[in-house]
Amino acid sequence: MEKREKRLRETGQKFALPFYVMKLTLRVSPAYLATTAGIAAVAAAGPILSTWLTQQILSGLLSGEGRRMLFFWVACLIAANFVCGGVSRYLTVKQGVFSERFRDDFKCYVGRRIMAMDYSLLEDPKVMDLKEQALRPIIDLGVLDMVLRDTVPSILSGLFLLAGTAVIAAAGYPVLLLALLAMAGINLHFVNRTRQTKNETYRFILPVERKIAAYNGITADFSLGKDVRIYDMGGIIMDKIRHLNRTDLKAVSVQFGRISRGAGLSSLLSQLQLFMIYGLLAVWAMQGRLGIAEYAFYTGIFLNLGTALFRISDKLSDLFYTGKIFSAFREFEALSMGEGGEGRSSGGAPRVEVRNVSFSYPGGGGPVLKDISLTIREGERVAVVGRNGAGKTTLVKLLCGLYRPDGGRILFDGKEVASMEGHSAAVFQDFRLFAYTLYDNVVMGREEEADLAQLFRRVGLQETVEGLPKGEHSYLYKLFEPDGVELSGGNGQRLAIARALYRDAPMLLLDEPTAALDPVSEEEIFRCFREISRGKTSVMISHRLSATRLCDRILVLQDGRIVENGSHEELMGLENGIYRNMFETQAQYYREQQEKDKMQKPK
């Protein structure tokens, strides 16, 4: 009983997916869908009109009708073909235009959905495989466009043809009609088996091709070019690509025989259909059951009917196959529907409460954070320190809303916030700059005109920006502009800090904000830390423990838990304390370095 219900549910989903595709297309481009339906209607009307008018001409010739009547039917046939052909060509041209627009509009639609996706899902390999399974066929291989330009019009025109010819065929020769229906059912079975084999192959090679694309991306990534050349990584990368390509090819080769057999049987069945139509009608004509005009008419009717049935069976199989792709897209689309932002915060520095929060990365094993609780007061500056892997960056990403806790709650001014949009700004040690102008990298698409001179002065970028030919309107990198500039690591980090400050959010999160800076520049950033964090609730991660003295309070993380909590003076007073040991070890290292530098100076 359960198996039967499952089968019925799956069948219902198969037939419901085309309507979902239509709804999706209607949402993105109504004109494209209307043009496609018009092409299908014209494609169905043309053969029926042509067959009927041809019969009228033959009947007139055989019955000795006058020339005027014959010329009338010939003129009607020419006019029908001319009108149908002209309308079809016009709609096809319009469809091509709408198709190009649709591709761009659909990519924008998908881009918006991906940018709305929970950040934590981007690090889940299963979600990335689902993304590849959903988007690669639709965008890279044009499956949706193929469905709208070929599959849907073929099914619609086939149904129109079937409706127009089946009644005539059933009234005249029902046995031949039943035979054609049976052959169409057999053809659907063969085509479905072939499609199933292709789908199994596709599912196997999909993760392989995703890895190949990732390695190909490494070869073309400008930012990785230096490492690839310095460490001679080209051979390793190409070996991996070749190995994956062989795995891909082997999977396709194994299934090729099964696919070929199914396609051959379907082709044989199509030829058998033609033999049956021409042969049976010829036999009946020789028996005197139909005349020449009727033979020509019914041959045309049954040929159109057979074509319609095979077209429907072939395209239904295509639709069922692509339906699985759209099932993946529908699942991925549901994942990407994140909760909307609440706009820019109009309040002051928030009070932040972390209550019994735990978090694990998808597929990453055990929890990274374990039952953490803490309160950050309004406007308080908090430093988070600890050894690598303690969970510091994860905590910051939870605070800025990139991750959601597996357990527990994070409250801002006593309430949970669906989105941190406008509530926080962050600078991470692995920050990214875009191949836009310096201005756009800071403003990030906001429409207001901004004066960034003071902001660049605060982060130490004023001289660098003024020294560029186009100032703040100079492009980064050479992806879009041949005269694009390449900032040093330190200046790139300053630009990222400027972007966070321009956001003017009430909460500031800094994860190793000076990781790429030299000691002098780092000291400059730390000196202005109190100024840039004034009036904000701030959290800073830094391995340079001297910077923690700028904060009101210090949290020490170890193995995903807060093990020490207090000011610099309080934690230094803890005998055998973790923070005290780390601070003294680092201070000793700097003292030793200073002694070495003094000894190496020439006298």
Residue 216 maps to a domain: yes
Helices (H), 136-233: 143-146, 152-172, 174-220, 225-230
Domain match, 308 and 361 both: no
Q: Check residues 196 and 109 and name the one with the higher pLDDT.
A: 109
In this prediction, residue 133 carries a pLDDT of 76
Q: For 377-382, what is the mean pLDDT?
A: 92
Q: pLDDT band for position 256 (50/70/90)?
A: low
pLDDT tens track for 548-568: 888 899 999 999 999 999 999
Domain match, 421 and 310 both: no
Domain match, 286 and 147 both: yes
Domain match, 292 and 267 both: yes
The pair of three-digit structure tokens given for residue 189, joined into one six-digit string:
């079975």
* Tokens 């130490």 -> residue: 460
* CA atoms in the 13 A half-sphere facing the CB of 243: 8
Residue 547 maps to a domain: yes
Please return the burial class of 462, using the count of CB atoms within 10 Å of its CB with bins 0-12, 13-18 and 19+: middle
Q: For 355-377, what is the mean pLDDT?
A: 87
User: How many domains does the chain fold into?
Assistant: 2
pLDDT over 90 (residue 205): no
Q: Please name the residues in contact with 21: beta carbons below 8 A apart, sequence gap of 6 or more.
A: 144, 147, 148, 152, 326
Q: Which of 128-132, 229-233, 285-289, 579-583 has the lowest mean pLDDT?
A: 229-233
Q: Residue 344: which of 509, 452, 506, 500 has the closest Cα?
A: 506
pLDDT tens track for 18-34: 677 777 788 888 888 88
Q: Residue 329: which of 136, 522, 134, 151 has the closest Cα?
A: 134
Q: pLDDT band for position 220 (50/70/90)?
A: low
The DSSP symbol for 474 reads P
pLDDT over 90 (residue 294): no
The DSSP symbol for 546 reads G
pLDDT over 70 (residue 347): no
In this prediction, residue 343 carries a pLDDT of 46
- The Cβ of residue 486 has, within 10 Å, a number of other Cβ atoms equal to 10
pLDDT over 80 (residue 249): no
**For residues 42 and 411, what is the distance between their CA atoms, to the nearest angstrom?**
61
Domain match, 242 and 378 both: no
Domain match, 356 and 237 both: no
Q: For 291-304, what is the mean pLDDT?
A: 76
CATH code of the domain covering residue 400: 3.40.50.300
In this prediction, residue 355 carries a pLDDT of 92
In this prediction, residue 383 carries a pLDDT of 92
Residue 599 maps to a domain: no
Of the chain, the percentage scoring pLDDT greater than 70 comes to 79
Residue 506 maps to a domain: yes
CB 562 within 8 A of CB 391: no
- The rounded mean pLDDT for the chain is 78
Domain match, 380 and 265 both: no
pLDDT over 60 (residue 574): yes
375: β partners: 353
pLDDT over 80 (residue 91): yes
CB 506 within 8 A of CB 537: yes
pLDDT over 80 (residue 398): yes
| Strands lying side by side in the sheet with 407-412 | 369-376, 352-359, 407-412
Q: Residue 117: which of 314, 463, 470, 362 has the closest Cα?
A: 362
**H or E element at residue 537:** strand 537-541
485: β partners: 476
Residue 476 phi, psi dihedral angles, 5° rounding: -85, 140
In this prediction, residue 384 carries a pLDDT of 93
Full residue range of the structural domain in which residue 535 is found: 352-433+487-575
* Tokens 């295509």 -> residue: 318
Domain match, 313 and 403 both: no
| Three-class HEC string of 315-353 | HHHHHHHHHHHHHHHHHHHHHCCCCCCCCCCCCCCCCEE
Q: Which of 142-146, 219-223, 367-371, 381-385 has the lowest mean pLDDT?
A: 219-223
383: β partners: 540, 554
pLDDT over 90 (residue 42): no
Q: Which of 62-76, 155-169, 466-480 has the lowest mean pLDDT?
A: 155-169
Domain match, 298 and 385 both: no
| Strands lying side by side in the sheet with 381-385 | 424-427, 507-511, 537-541, 381-385, 553-558, 561-566
382: β partners: 539, 553
In this prediction, residue 344 carries a pLDDT of 47
Q: For 144-159, what is the mean pLDDT?
A: 77
CB 573 within 8 A of CB 543: no
Residue 98 maps to a domain: yes
Residue 388 maps to a domain: yes
In this prediction, residue 18 carries a pLDDT of 64
**For residues 147 and 318, what is the distance between their CA atoms, to the nearest angstrom?**
8
The pair of three-digit structure tokens given for residue 103, joined into one six-digit string:
């591709």
Q: Please name the residues in contact with 13: beta carbons below 8 A apart, sequence gap of 6 or more.
A: 323, 327
Q: pLDDT band for position 90 (50/70/90)?
A: very high
Q: pLDDT band for position 43 (50/70/90)?
A: confident
In this prediction, residue 341 carries a pLDDT of 46
CATH code of the domain covering residue 67: 1.20.1560.10
Domain match, 156 and 263 both: yes
In this prediction, residue 208 carries a pLDDT of 65
pLDDT tens track for 331-344: 887 775 555 444 44
Helices (H), 365-443: 392-399, 438-443
Domain match, 246 and 364 both: no
Q: What angle do CA 348, 351, 356 make, to 5 degrees?
A: 155
**For residues 301 and 308, what is the distance between their CA atoms, to the nearest angstrom?**
10
Domain match, 39 and 106 both: yes
